[in-house]
Amino acid sequence: MVVGEVFAPFGITVESLRVAQVRYVPGRSVTVEFQADLRMPDGSESIDTVGASSGLRLAGPVATVERSGAEIAVWRYPHDPELPGLAQVTDPDRLRSTLTDISVEPQSLRLRRRSYRATRRAALEITTDTAHLYMKVLQPSKAKRVHELHRELSAVLPVPRSHGLLEKGGVIFLEAIEGLPIRRLIENGEPVPNPGQLLALLDLFPAPAKHHVRVADPVVQVGDHVRLLSILLPEAAGRMALLVDQIVVDHDAEPERLIHGDFHTMQVLTVDGAVSGLVDIDTCGVGSHSIDLAAYLGQVSVLALAGKAAPAFSAHGRAALAEFDQRVDPSVLRLRAAAHVLGLATGPFRVQDAEWPDNTLDRIALVERWITSAAGTDASAFD
């Protein structure tokens, strides 16, 4: 076992491993995040996150093992080789010093890990007696742009203000915004902002400027998703190949504007049923309005597939679809929603859901319903 081989020289025994996430890029790389039960040299036990990757050029604090001609890099959280600032801001003493540098009182420091995607990003929550912040940890080459986006857009949108940047470490310190995301409200059966409020929020984005990057159109990524899914589920490859020719839009039909780029129910925060914040603007850039609207609808339609709150998500999706149809071409909106759902179809495999093949096929069937819906511009995707 590769992970056990890496830890053995340090007297650490791997008692068990559970795959938490997998990122697979066919022909290029695979990165796996594990939850590991470790027995330390003194006999104590520890539950840690361990990353392993093959196909990426990784530097920094990794151990390497060769298997079948492939080099596998292994590391233990928080020593992610692509996120050099993560180890710094998870060390309490170093974090206290950093917070002092950005004028935050570090007494009574509480640190909570909120999310981690190996080699890609992490989010941590900081609470002190006087401050409540989130730290976004990115690859250093990406952090400055995101920091500047927060500085720019917080003047006109309810996005978190950036308190500072550790550029070499890729760490951004963001203010916390009060509120619950729309998804949690729907799951709890509480009132949510109406679709008109969502459109009003997106209308607050300023006009695009030369320094804004271009957002990846989900329609352009359809071929990549089909290739990956065909490898994962070869029995459905023929069915999925049809999607490449069916999900086609005129990319020049809409005027370009500044958009969120990954707009969905977890990105919009609310207080008392009204919008209070918009988060995760890393993907912000220039693109078509329907990209944001389709991303929102696509995610809601996936949430409407199963679970106790499925009927509530379906009702919310229908209401949003009716409102969004008034803004953009209804057929294009549905085709882009289909493309977005196709991207989400890799999710069950990524998190290693026990029933990921069936759940993936359910999402592919939803893609097909969105395509059918585009022809009649109806709401059948939420049936």
Q: In percent, how much of the chain has pLDDT > 90?
A: 86
Residues 344, 213 share a domain: yes
Domain co-membership, 144 together with 110: yes
Has residue 213 got a pLDDT over 90? Answer: yes
pTM: 0.94
Question: Do residue 38 and residue 99 come from a single domain?
Answer: no
What pLDDT is attached to residue 2? 82
**Angle, in degrees to the nearest 10, between helices 237-246 and 330-344:** 150
**CA 23, CA 186: separation in Å to the nearest integer?**
29
101 and 141 assigned to the same domain: yes
- Distance between CA atoms of residues 188 and 83, nearest Å: 35
Last residue of a domain, one of 129, 151, 175: 175
Residue 200 sits in the same domain as residue 222: yes
- For the segment 147-156, the average pLDDT, to the nearest whole number, is 97
Average confidence (pLDDT) over 191-211: 96
- Residue 8 reports pLDDT greater than 90: no
Do 256 and 343 lie in one domain? The reply is: yes
- In this prediction, residue 209 carries a pLDDT of 95
Q: How confident is the model at residue 108 (pLDDT cuts 50, 70, 90)?
A: confident
Report the mean per-residue pLDDT for the chain.
Answer: 94
Same domain, 112 and 247: no
Does residue 65 surpass a pLDDT of 90? no
Which pLDDT does position 66 carry in this prediction? 86
Are residues 70 and 119 located together in one domain of the fold?
A: no
Same domain for 69 and 114? no
Give the pLDDT confidence of 241-257 residue by residue, as tens digits.
999 999 999 988 899 99
Banded model confidence at residue 27, pLDDT cuts 50, 70, 90: confident
Residue 256 sits in the same domain as residue 143: no
Percent of the chain past pLDDT 70, that is, above it, reads 100
Same domain, 201 and 65: no
Q: Are the CB atoms for 21 and 38 separated by under 8 Å?
A: no
Are residues 196 and 107 located together in one domain of the fold?
no
The pair of structure tokens assigned to 194 is 């109406």
Ramachandran bin of 208, using left for φ above 0, alpha for ψ from -120 to 50, beta for the remaining angles: beta
Q: Does residue 59 carry a pLDDT above 80?
A: no
How many independent structural domains does the chain possess?
Answer: 3
Domain CATH number, residue 169: 3.30.200.20
What mean pLDDT do residues 100-106 have? 83
Distances in Å between the alpha carbon of 40 and those of 16, 52, 67, 358?
Answer: 13, 20, 26, 39
Q: Which of 23-32, 100-109, 147-156, 269-278 is least confident?
A: 100-109
pLDDT at 74: 94
List all residues 6 or more positions away from 194 whose beta carbon is below 8 Å from its beta carbon.
Answer: 319, 323
Q: Summarize pLDDT for 348-367 with one digit per residue, the tens.
A: 999 999 899 999 999 999 99
Q: What is the mean pLDDT of residues 127-143?
A: 94
Domain boundary residue, one of 128, 148, 175: 175
CATH number, domain containing residue 311: 3.90.1200.10
pLDDT at 247: 98
State which of 175, 198, 221 marks the end of a domain.
Answer: 175
Domain that holds residue 302: 180-382
pLDDT at 1: 72
**Cβ atoms within 10 Å, residue 334:** 31
**d(Cα 240, Cα 225) in Å, to the nearest integer?**
9
> What does the alpha-carbon distance between residue 147 and residue 263 come to, in Å, rounded to a whole number?
19
> How far apart, in whole angstroms, are the C-alpha atoms of residue 264 and residue 152?
21
pLDDT score recorded for residue 53: 95
Indicate the pLDDT class of residue 341, thresholds 50, 70 and 90: very high
CA atoms lying within 13 Å on the CB side of residue 204: 16
